C-alpha cells in the first residue's frame, strides 16, 4: 500500500492506494475516531459485498456501525436525500465525534460529504472509493454537492474527507462502459500535467482494459498524486490552478445538459469535451494540430466516444447549457485548453461563434 498526503486548511488527510484494503478499514478508523464512536456507512445496494467487509472490520474495532442506503444514480444527489440522511443520523443519536463512511462513487461521496459538512455544523467522513472515477477524482479534494433542478452540483461545500481509501481490487468487477468512462478522466491527468502518464496510457491501454490490477493500481496512484498536489495548492479553486482539473468539463456539462443527462455517462461527455477543447485550442493556434489527433487515438483506444454525431444534439442547445455552467467567470465562459501534452492554460473571452464552430465540427447540428 502507498499513501499520499493532501494538504487542507481544515486538516490534512491521507489517500491510501493499494489492494485488499477494505478489511483494514476498522484499524485505520480506530486511529482517527474515539473508541466506540458511531459510524454511518452510506452506500448503494449494488455495493453490498463491500459493505459487509467494511462493517465487519469496523465492528471488530468496537465501532457502533449503522448503514444508510441511497437510491442508485444521480437522483441520490437531491435535497430530499440530504435531509433523509441528516434525519437518519439524528435518529441514531450521532454526535459530533461520530463519522460517516461513504462507500461508492462520486454520487455517494458528494451526498454523504455534503451531509457531513452540515450535520451538527460538520462531522468527519471517510471516502472508500469503489469506482475508478472516484479513486482518481471525486473522492479526493473535498468537493461535495447536490444537484438543483437548474443543473448539477449547484449547491455544496468544500469539506475535505478525513481519509480516502482506494482499493484497486474493487475495480476488477467494474463493467466495461464504466471502466472506459473513468479512463477519460485518467487521460485528462496526462494532458493537463503528466506527459509520462500519457505515454504510459498509450503503451498500456490494452492491459488497462483487461483490468490488469498492477497497471490499474499504478494509474490510480499517479492520478491521485496529481490531484492531491493540485488541491493542496488551490483547495478552494481560487488561484486558477484547481480549475485545470476541469479540462473538457465546460463542453461536457453542455453536452450533458443538452442531452438531458440521457444516452451518455459523465466520463463519456468529458471525453468528447476534451476533444472539443483540444480542437478549439488547435483552431486558435494554442496547440499543434497533432495534439487533438494523439488525444483522439488514445480516447478511441480506451473505447470512448470522441464526437456527438450519434447523439443528435443541437449546437445551440449545447451552448445554452454551457452558459449555465457554474465555472463561468464574470459571466464569461472559461475554457481549459491544452498547449502541449502535460501543459494547459485557462482562456476566457473566446468568441461564441468560434465555440459553435467546434461544436458543429464535432457533430452537433
Ligand atoms: N473534479 C474537479 C475538482 O475536484 O476540482
Q: Which of 270, 272, 256 is nearest to 362 (CA)?
A: 272
| 13-18 vs 163-167, strand pairing mode | parallel
Q: How far is the CA of 35 from the centre of ligand 1 (A)?
A: 33
Local confidence pLDDT in tens for the 365 residues of the chain: 999 999 999 999 999 999 999 999 999 999 999 999 999 999 999 898 899 999 999 999 999 999 999 999 889 999 999 999 999 999 999 999 999 999 999 999 999 999 999 999 999 999 999 999 999 999 999 999 999 988 888 999 999 999 999 999 999 888 999 999 999 999 999 999 999 999 999 999 999 999 999 999 999 999 999 999 999 999 999 998 999 999 999 999 999 989 987 889 889 999 999 999 999 999 999 999 999 999 999 999 999 999 999 999 999 999 999 987 666 666 678 899 999 999 999 998 899 999 999 999 999 99
Domain boundaries defined on the chain:
2-173, 179-361
Joined together, the cell numbers standing for residue 119 give: 450535520
DSSP-based three-state secondary structure for 305? coil
Q: How far is the CA of 249 from the centre of ligand 1 (A)?
A: 10
Phi–psi pair at 4, nearest 5 degrees: -130, 140
Q: How far is the CA of 91 from the centre of ligand 1 (A)?
A: 32
Ligand 1: residue of 156, 241, 246, 248 to mutate (most ligand atoms within 8 A of CB) is 246
| Ligand 1: residue whose CA is nearest its atom 2 | 245
Residue that is written with C-alpha cell 481509501 in the block: 165
Q: What pTM was estimated for this model as a whole?
A: 0.93
Q: How many CB atoms lie within 10 A of CB 323?
A: 14
What are the distances in angstroms from CA 49 to CA 84, 176, 341?
A: 24, 20, 40
Name the CATH superfamily, with its identifier, for domain 179-361: Dehydroquinate synthase-like - alpha domain (1.20.1090.10)
What are the distances in angstroms from CA 177 to CA 48, 214, 266?
A: 21, 20, 11
| Enclosing H/E stretch for 38 | strand 38-44
Domain 2-173: give its CATH code: 3.40.50.1970
Q: How many CB atoms lie within 10 A of CB 51?
A: 22
**Number of helical H runs and strand E runs in the chain:** 13, 11
The one-character DSSP state at 332 is: B
Whether 66 sits among the annotated catalytic residues: the reply is: no
Amino acid at each position: 500500500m502507498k499513501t499520499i498526503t493532501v494538504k487542507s486548511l481544515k486538516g490534512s488527510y491521507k489517500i491510501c492506494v493499494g489492494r485488499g484494503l477494505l478489511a483494514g478499514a476498522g484499524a485505520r478508523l480506530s486511529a482517527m475516531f474515539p473508541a466506540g464512536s458511531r459510524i454511518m456507512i452510506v452506500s448503494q445496494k449494488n455495493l453490498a459485498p463491500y459493505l459487509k467487509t467494511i462493517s465487519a472490520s469496523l465492528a471488530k474495532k468496537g465501532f457502533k456501525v449503522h448503514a444508510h442506503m441511497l437510491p442508485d444514480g444521480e437522483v441520490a444527489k437531491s435535497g430530499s436525500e440530504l435531509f433523509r440522511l441528516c434525519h437518519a443520523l439524528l435518529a441514531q443519536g450521532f454526535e459530533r465525534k461520530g463519522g460517516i463512511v461513504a462507500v461508492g462513487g462520486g454520487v455517494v461521496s458528494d451526498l454523504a460529504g455534503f451531509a457531513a459538512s452540515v450535520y451538527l455544523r460538520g462531522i468527519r467522513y471517510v471516502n472508500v472509493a469503489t469506482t475508478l472515477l472516484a479513486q482518481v477524482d471525486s473522492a479526493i479534494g473535498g468537493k461535495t454537492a447536490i444537484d438543483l433542478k437548474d443543473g448539477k452540483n449547484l449547491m455544496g461545500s468544500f469539506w475535505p474527507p478525513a481519509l480516502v481509501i482506494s482499493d484497486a481490487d474493487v475495480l476488477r468487477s467494474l463493467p466495461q462502459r464504466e471502466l472506459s468512462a473513468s479512463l477519460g478522466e485518467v487521460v485528462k491527468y496526462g494532458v493537463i500535467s503528466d506527459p509520462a502518464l500519457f505515454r504510459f496510457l498509450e503503451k498500456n491501454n490494452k492491459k488497462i482494459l483487461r483490468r490488469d490490477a498492477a497497471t490499474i493500481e499504478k494509474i490510480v496512484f499517479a492520478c491521485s498524486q496529481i490531484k492531491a498536489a493540485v488541491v493542496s495548492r488551490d483547495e478552494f479553486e481560487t488561484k486558477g490552478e484547481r480549475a485545470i482539473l476541469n479540462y473538457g468539463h465546460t463542453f461536457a456539462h453542455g453536452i450533458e445538459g443538452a442531452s438531458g443527462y440521457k444516452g451518455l455517462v459523465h466520463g463519456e461527455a468529458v471525453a468528447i469535451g476534451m476533444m472539443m477543447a483540444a480542437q478549439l485550442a488547435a483552431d486558435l493556434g494554442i496547440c499543434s494540430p497533432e495534439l487533438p489527433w494523439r488525444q483522439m487515438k488514445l480516447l478511441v483506444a480506451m473505447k470512448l466516444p470522441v464526437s456527438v454525431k450519434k447523439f443528435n444534439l443541437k449546437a445551440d442547445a449545447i451552448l445554452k447549457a454551457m452558459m449555465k455552467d457554474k465555472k463561468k467567470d464574470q459571466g464569461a465562459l472559461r475554457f481549459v485548453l491544452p498547449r502541449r501534452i502535460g501543459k494547459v492554460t485557462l482562456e476566457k473571452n473566446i468568441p461564441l461563434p468560434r465555440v459553435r464552430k467546434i461544436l458543429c465540427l464535432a457533430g452537433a447540428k
